[in-house]
Structure 1
Amino acid sequence: MTSFESPAVDWWVLSPQIVLVAMVLGLLLASSLAPRALPAWVSTCTSVATGAAVGVIAVIQWNSAGFTARSTLAGAFVSDGFSLLLTMLIGAGVVMTALVAHSALDRYGMTPPEFAALLLASAAGAVVMVGANDLIVLFLGLESLSIALYVLIALAGRRATARESAMKYFVLGAFSSAFFLYGIALVYGSTGSTRLSHIGEFLESHWLLDEHLLLAGIALLLVGLGFKVAAVPFHFWAPDVYQGAPSPVTGYLASIAKAAGFAALARVLFVAFGPHRVAWAPIVVGLAFATLAVGAVMAITQTDVKRMLAFSSISHAGFVLVGLSAAGGIGWWAVAVGDEAPQVLVIVDHGAVSSAVFYLVAYSFMALGSFAVLSVMASLGVPSPDAVEQHPLSRYGGLARRRPVLALAFAVLLLAQAGVPLTSGFVAKFEVIRAAVGGKGYVLAAVAMVTAVVSAFAYLRVVLAMYAPDSDVDEAPVRARAARPRWGGLPMTSVFAIAIAVAVTVIVGVLPQRLLEWSTDAVFALVP
């Protein structure tokens, strides 16, 4: 009888997930054993402290490990610069989402401990996704993130739109998970392994006589991950779900969930299927074309600001896909060695991958801040928890006179998404388009620039409405239930989160070099 040898576990590598899961269990246990309902500030402080702790741990691991990757669980999970940078982003996203949600829990009728526990559980799944080196582990992280998000959206169950959004996201998410799992099975059947690094090594050293099984597996994996990042044509769920979900959850969906999906996509494409870039690169280019065009065109046709931001989120996903598709665009070619079958050699453009990472980080803060503004706007005079949250463009008319600081913050975030200079959005778009040009993707770069101009119309329309001199919309009085600490009639916690988003957007736009260096260091850990 053969004995089972358990893999060695590096607990320090797994410490971010351990902290998140421990706080989830502790919060649920405390709320269930407490003689009365825990105050909302307890759940908020727990979420903020946990997100900050995860970010600090990632920073410590980044500084101590340098470029050295540390793996655990027999190599199924890896801690490197790529995963650590995105773990910092996830921690920041948890902090900002918890701050924004603190003043919105009563309005949406959500229980604070349940919201905090689900938020931390989804973050744990996202951390697993960004560091997964095995398709099975990646699937577990994907499901942990997705299931928590399904419930987070449905937590505002007194709103019919939230229930509808949760059900739509759940049904389509279940289909995408099935595609992803079937793709894992086909890849395993082709290569004999689910370990990403082993798959890459196998494809480098073996020539497959029949690649159809592998290509089908790659296609199904792209379907599963394309759904998670809302890439066209797998985007149909995004506008309705983003609009119906509570605004704090929508910001988390558009930023952290999307970042985790792109991180997983990058690992799968470059670590596992890098040697077969010729097979998947045209697909990614096609996804980028479609995502840019559909997101930009549909965004300018919307009259609801929240729905416009949902479609613009799809367009931003297209820019990230431009960076990923440009990686390796320097060229690939086949060489014959003796009588052996030809092998495909790929040169990976690290600058292209780092531009995608930079775009992910920059856009995440813009999305979190923008939806935080929408959450604040929804708090101004919503009549009841059962009311449908509406964000018509007319509601933002004359906002600069009523709420000048809030209008200025929202204008900065919108202009950054449009790519105005001296903002992080401009630097992000410039780096991605430059990567496409460097990879000889001139048509894709041109489409990206055109769609950026088209999308700018949607953002500028909102900015002009806020600063229009003849627009005015009366705000209903804020109800007594929102008597938590406020600044100028606005929730203090949300104001703080918006200030963080605006500060990061402006500072990175003016001084982008440090984040560019971090993105480059992270990519060299992902693609040596």
Structure 2
Amino acid sequence: MIVSAKQLIACSPLLILSLTVIIIILFISYNRNHFCTFLCSVIGLLLSFFSICIVKTIVPINVTMLFHIDKYSLLYISMVLLSSIITCIFAYSWLENSFYNRNEFYLLLLLSTIGCISLIISNHMSVFFIGMELMSLPVLGLISYAHFERNALEAAIKYMILSCSISVLALFGIALIYSITGSLTFSSLIYELVTSISHPDSILLCGLGLIIFAFSFKLSIFPFHIWTPDVYKGTSSTVLMYVSTATKIAVFSLFFKIFIFLISFHVEFFRIMLEIMICASVIFGNFMAVFQTDIKRFLGYSSISQFGYLLTSLLISNDFNFSLEVVGIYLVGYLLSNIGMFGLMSIMSILKKDLKFDTITFYRGLFWNNPLLASIITIILFSLSGIPSTLGFVGKFYLLSLIVKENLWMLGIILLIGSIIGIYAYLKIVVYLYLEPLDSNNSKNVVLDFFGKLCMFILFLIAILLLLLGIFPNLIIGIISNSEPLLF
């Protein structure tokens, strides 16, 4: 099989990251220098990120039968790379102060990023499975990296059990689909659905159902959210910055590809199943978030509700471009907000090493000690809750427009109730920021080094972007609307 130069250019983000991994392995074997490994990782990720500008000029394109790359998949890839770059920057100070073996962290992060990108552009079920495993196995190492911290190994074991369950479901689903279609390409799956639209094969639907269950586990959709808050609680903030954004964005991109066709072909069973998962995820996630005292568990339940909202974008009946626009805007807001929130927790762990920074009460009165950090947290929480003048509000407004357009009034009422509960949960933390501080929180701050100040600047920039894109949403809408529809 001959691969043309254009196809190699289209795969340049993957090839650059693969080369970076090889260079880092050689660095580690020759001389374990933390700064060199960090610098090489960031440069490789940046080169991969900027190579998207070149790839954009030659897409859409198929790279053999394994990959399909279009402008919308490039949008997802850019989100994943942005998450990886910022995670590397925040991880430097954390690793420098806490670990002896620091270099392997970047190796695991890059391998997982390669898996995410492979998953996003996959056009073949073998690539889908390999990409998902390549994404998940390094994450297991990242979660257990801080093995000396409380609950870290518990979180790693629970994540491993979930990953094994997902792999079994996905493999069995792929086998069932192959038994009907005789092929592992997504195009053959779509063709089979089109030709049997009136009476789709029950084995085919069962296989699709198992794959959707696997995706739901990865996205922590109700009722597949088991242990998600526990995994969040036992994972370090720096690792969660990547796990809660890059991996979920990659999984959702492929989930969207498969499910949008099922809805467009009016497979009623999947539509009903989707509506039930949306309602349950939004109500359960927001309701349980109200009662949390640990901020990581709070954000774990928040992620359940956030992807519950996002699933609503799959219910559109004909205007797929609008659905793609909804997904893009909502995911950009989710990406910035989660990076900002976990980045803030990472900064607080450096500033006040002697205090338990992952409890909500720790942030009581933060405004009176550090107004800048309190303001950044306020903007991020406003965006997550969908308060006007933030990017999160634009995403929620698009979802409301979709609900009205599709006349999903009952679903809209349930989502409204869930949103009211969610706003109460988020504002509860915001109120804590401006109360009178506790005496135990008045310990002296540690002076930030260069990387600490760089992280603070990134957080400030994220808060500005959430406000700027919320006030002037056309800046992001224009970029997303120019992306082409997904094609297999």
Deviation at 1:280, TM superposition (A): 1.8
Q: Does 1:16 align with 2:13?
A: yes
Deviation at 1:109, TM superposition (A): 2.7
For 1:112-151, what per-residue CA distance to the aligned partner results, in whole angstroms no more than 9, with x for missing partners? 3211111111111111111111111111111111011000
Q: Does 1:434 align with 2:401?
A: yes
User: Cα RMSD between the aligned structures?
Assistant: 2.2
For 1:149-196, what per-residue CA distance to the aligned partner results, in whole angstroms no more than 9, with x for missing partners? 000111111124111111110111111111011111111112222211
Q: Return the match for 1:136 from 126, 131, 137.
A: 126
Give the corresponding residue for 2:44. 50
Partner of 2:358, secondary structure, is coil
User: Is the CA contact (8 Å cut-off) linking 2:320 and 2:485 kept in structure 1?
Assistant: no
For 1:440-498, what per-residue CA distance to the aligned partner results, in whole angstroms no more than 9, with x for missing partners? 2112222222212211112111111111145554354466xx87327xxxx21321331
In structure 2, how many angstroms separate the alpha carbons of the residues matched to 1:348 and 1:190? 30
Q: How many residues align?
A: 487
Q: Return the match for 1:391 from 341, 358, 361.
A: 358
User: Is the CA contact (8 Å cut-off) linking 2:321 and 2:485 kept in structure 1?
Assistant: no
Give the alignment of 1:85-484 within 5 angstroms. Answer: 85-109=75-99, 111-206=101-196, 211-270=201-260, 274-275=264-265, 277-324=267-314, 326-328=315-317, 347-383=318-354, 390-469=357-436, 471-477=438-444, 484=449
Give the corresponding residue for 1:485. 450
User: Is the CA contact (8 Å cut-off) linking 1:323 and 1:356 kept in structure 2?
Assistant: yes
Give the corresponding residue for 2:457. 496
Deviation at 1:439, TM superposition (A): 1.6
- TM-score, scaled relative to structure 1: 0.87
In structure 1, how many angstroms separate the alpha carbons of the residues matched to 2:3 and 2:369? 61
Partner of 1:12, secondary structure, is helix
In structure 2, how many angstroms separate the alpha carbons of the residues matched to 1:279 and 1:527? 24
In structure 1, how many angstroms separate the alpha carbons of the residues matched to 2:438 and 2:394? 33
Deviation at 1:108, TM superposition (A): 4.5
Is the alpha carbon distance of 1:446 and 1:72 closer, same or farther for their aligned partners in structure 2, counting shifts above 3 Å? same
User: Is the CA contact (8 Å cut-off) linking 1:225 and 1:261 kept in structure 2?
Assistant: yes
Q: Which residue type is aligned with residue 519 of structure 1? A: I
For 1:303-328, what per-residue CA distance to the aligned partner results, in whole angstroms no more than 9, with x for missing partners? 1122111111111011111112x222
Is the alpha carbon distance of 1:11 and 1:210 closer, same or farther for their aligned partners in structure 2, counting shifts above 3 Å? closer
In structure 1, how many angstroms separate the alpha carbons of the residues matched to 2:25 and 2:350? 27
Partner of 1:410, secondary structure, is helix
Deviation at 1:390, TM superposition (A): 4.8
Structure 2 residue runs of 5 or longer lacking an equivalent are none
Is the alpha carbon distance of 1:306 and 1:184 closer, same or farther for their aligned partners in structure 2, counting shifts above 3 Å? same
Partner of 2:388, secondary structure, is coil
In structure 2, how many angstroms separate the alpha carbons of the residues matched to 1:319 and 1:218? 22
Q: Does 1:514 align with 2:479?
A: no
Identify the range of structure 1 (200-209 vs 492-501) with the bigger mean alpha-carbon deviation. Answer: 200-209
Structure 1 residue runs of 5 or longer lacking an equivalent are 329-346
Is the alpha carbon distance of 1:29 and 1:273 closer, same or farther for their aligned partners in structure 2, counting shifts above 3 Å? farther
Partner of 1:78, secondary structure, is strand
Is the alpha carbon distance of 1:416 and 1:472 closer, same or farther for their aligned partners in structure 2, counting shifts above 3 Å? farther
Deviation at 1:507, TM superposition (A): 1.9
User: Is the CA contact (8 Å cut-off) linking 1:102 and 1:493 kept in structure 2?
Assistant: no
Partner of 1:526, secondary structure, is coil
In structure 1, how many angstroms separate the alpha carbons of the residues matched to 2:183 and 2:271? 22
Give the corresponding residue for 2:486. 526
In structure 2, how many angstroms separate the alpha carbons of the residues matched to 1:30 and 1:272? 47
Identify the range of structure 1 (53-62 vs 95-104) with the bigger mean alpha-carbon deviation. Answer: 53-62
Identify the range of structure 1 (212-221 vs 437-446) with the bigger mean alpha-carbon deviation. Answer: 437-446
The percent of aligned pairs where both chains have the same amino acid is 26
For 1:328-387, what per-residue CA distance to the aligned partner results, in whole angstroms no more than 9, with x for missing partners? 2xxxxxxxxxxxxxxxxxx3543123212221121111100111001111223325xxx9
Deviation at 1:237, TM superposition (A): 2.3
Q: Name the structure where helix makes up a greater proportion of residues.
A: 2
In structure 2, how many angstroms separate the alpha carbons of the residues matched to 1:425 and 1:145? 27
